[in-house]
């Protein structure tokens, strides 16, 4: 990886000095959703000329300029700790990934905790994928953070039910094991730039009230990860979730870990405005094109 640009360093500083503080101090997840929507619009940009269509479920389909309307579909699941985020917050990220891969991308809307704890998000993602399979089965499945966790659940479900299998998975700093103490885990990651222990604890309390986090239906790393498609996993080298990436690679048949030093959790969100984000997405797109093309 080349040296970070001044713009990349700016976004890294924002993650450390502003975003991390907001996640620590704002306990209301509804308020965080509004702030995240605002910051995502300011910190990213859709590919020029992309067409965005919203369906009745508030899910988005993005067709980049120059990509055919019947091009293969990438199924992208947004992150946000199961409590914040939406297809809109991740539209630029997914749009740039799809544009470089020469695909269309579908971002499913799913219900968020605490209003809708586990298994609502998992159920919604599986249902959206099943509906899409009736017309255009996705050739690849991707997701970041909590969305990476849901992508793994979906891939396991597809394998076990015989639905049309994707040819590749792309995961960005996926949450794969929720069974450990989140406060201890994130506090011990001294170079974690974005996620404070306080928010990690709130996420677990909101998403899994009274539910065993060691259940493989919750933590995909504790279930069967064999028989899944070739997978590329990207993460920040210093972030707390880098350990999940390494453990996933050991448990899966064909997985590659790509660690990026000096970058915060899901820096890809600055697609269209950050060089490191664009470069990482280009590498992910090349992998998806090779495996799914």
The set of catalytic residues is 145, 239, 265
Contact predicate 104/63, CB 8 Å: yes
Closest listed residue to residue 228, CA positions, set 145, 133, 157, 138: 157
If one counts every other C-beta atom within 10 angstroms of the C-beta of residue 160, the result is: 10
**By CB neighbour count within 10 A (0-12 exposed, 13-18 middle, 19+ buried), where does 264 fall?**
buried
Distance between CA 112 and CA 273 in Å, rounded? 27
Distance between CA 145 and CA 232 in Å, rounded? 14
17-26: Cβ within 8 A, 24+ apart: 19/194, 19/264, 20/193, 20/194, 20/195, 20/196, 23/194, 23/195, 23/196, 23/198, 23/199, 24/196, 24/198, 24/199
User: Residue 233: in which H helix or E strand, if any?
Assistant: strand 231-236
Contact predicate 69/62, CB 8 Å: no
β-bridge partners, 74: 105, 140
């Amino acid at each position: 990886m080349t040296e970070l640009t001044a713009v990349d360093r700016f976004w890294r500083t924002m993650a450390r000095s502003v975003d991390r503080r907001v996640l620590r101090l704002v306990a209301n997840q509804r308020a965080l959703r509004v702030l995240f929507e605002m910051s995502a619009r300011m910190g990213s940009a859709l590919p020029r000329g992309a067409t965005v269509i919203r369906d009745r479920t508030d899910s988005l389909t993005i067709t980049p300029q120059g990509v055919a309307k019947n091009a293969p579909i990438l199924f992208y699941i947004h992150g946000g700790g199961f409590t914040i985020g939406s297809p809109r917050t991740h539209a630029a990220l997914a749009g740039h990934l799809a544009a470089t891969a020469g695909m269309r991308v579908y971002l499913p809307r799913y219900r968020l905790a605490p209003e809708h704890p586990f298994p609502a998000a998992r159920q919604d993602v599986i249902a959206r994928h099943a509906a899409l399979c009736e017309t255009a089965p996705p050739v690849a499945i991707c997701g970041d953070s909590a969305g990476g966790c849901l992508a793994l659940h979906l891939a396991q479900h597809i394998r076990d039910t015989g639905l049309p299998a994707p040819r590749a998975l792309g995961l960005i700093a996926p949450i794969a094991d929720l069974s450990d103490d989140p406060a201890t885990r994130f506090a011990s990651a001294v170079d974690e730039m974005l996620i404070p222990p306080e928010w990690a604890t709130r996420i677990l309390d909101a998403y899994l009230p009274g539910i065993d986090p060691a259940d493989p239906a919750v933590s995909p790393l504790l279930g069967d990860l064999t028989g899944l498609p070739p997978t590329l996993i990207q993460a920040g080298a210093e972030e707390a979730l880098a350990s999940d990436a390494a453990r996933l690679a050991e448990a899966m048949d064909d997985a590659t870990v790509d660690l990026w030093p000096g970058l915060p959790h899901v820096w890809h969100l600055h697609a269209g405005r950050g060089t490191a984000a664009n470069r990482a997405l280009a590498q992910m797109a090349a992998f998806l094109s090779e495996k799914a093309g």
